[in-house]
Structure formats: structure tokens, C-alpha cells
Amino acid sequence: MLHRDHALSEKETITFEELAREPFIISMEGFQTREDILNAFALEQVSPNIKFEIERFETALTLVRENLGLAIIPENYLVEPKDVSIVHKTLDSPALERTVYMMYMKNRYLAPAVQCFLEEIQRNFAPGKKATDIIDEV
């Protein structure tokens, strides 16, 4: 994510090499997100220009809102409420992908709310597949 007035905000795609030249906001040591981000930069053979280390992603949002740097954060922090001063781009890196596993008992009653939840997972994370194809049954 970056401020809407940042020069890179108009670009369709942004490379890690471009990010490496900018002031970067990252989680403090000990956070898995930090390790994932540093691995993504390492895969591209560049290093981020770390200016701020944060404990909370909300702090990264505030710093970006003030145009003090760029950050890579999980998408769910950008959902609502929409902040018009922040632009988000998607980066393509295998280091920034996470596999999440879910299991449920095959022949057990599922409440309607649980069924809706499974369908929502299907729509958002595996379009074209049935929930039973992407969620393990036990």
C-alpha cells in the first residue's frame, strides 16, 4: 500500500526493485509477516529500505496515510472503511502466499451459518471449485 500522491501509485504493477528504493514500513522482528516480506525481497535479490518497524498494521496504515513510506500488509486491513488517501496494489510473489487448511466432519450437521461460511470461502478463494473440493472432510 502507498499514498495516493506517491509517484508509484499510478503504475499498474510495481516491482520489488522499485519498492527497494522507497522508505519501507515493516513489522518488527518476531512476526511471520516480516519474514515473508523479507523472503519475497530476497527472492527478487533486493533489500527493502526499512525506515519504520511497527507492531500493528494499523500503525502502517497511519504512516502510509501521512505519506511516510510504503508497506506490504494483509489485504483484510484494507477492506473497510475505505481510505481514499491509500492506494493498494497486488504483488506477485510465492513468498507472500499462505495456505490455510480447514476441516469439518463429513457426515455431521452443519448450521446454515457454517454452510454460508464455507460457500463464502469458495467464492473468494477458489472460484469455480466446490467447497468440498477445497475443504477437507474428516
Domain harbouring 16, CATH code: 3.40.190.10
The model scores a pTM over 0.75: no
**Based on the domain organization, do 26 and 69 belong to the same domain?**
yes
Domain that holds residue 28: 2-96
Instruction: For residue 26, count other CB atoms closer than 10 A to its CB.
Output: 23
**Based on the domain organization, do 32 and 84 belong to the same domain?**
yes
Q: How many domains does the chain have?
A: 2
Mean pLDDT rounded to a whole number for the chain: 85
**Based on the domain organization, do 34 and 54 belong to the same domain?**
yes
33: Cβ contacts below 8 Å, ≥ 6 apart:
27, 72, 73, 74
Split at pLDDT 50, 70, 90, the class of 138 is very low
Q: Give the model's pLDDT for residue 54.
A: 95
> Is residue 129's pLDDT more than 70?
no
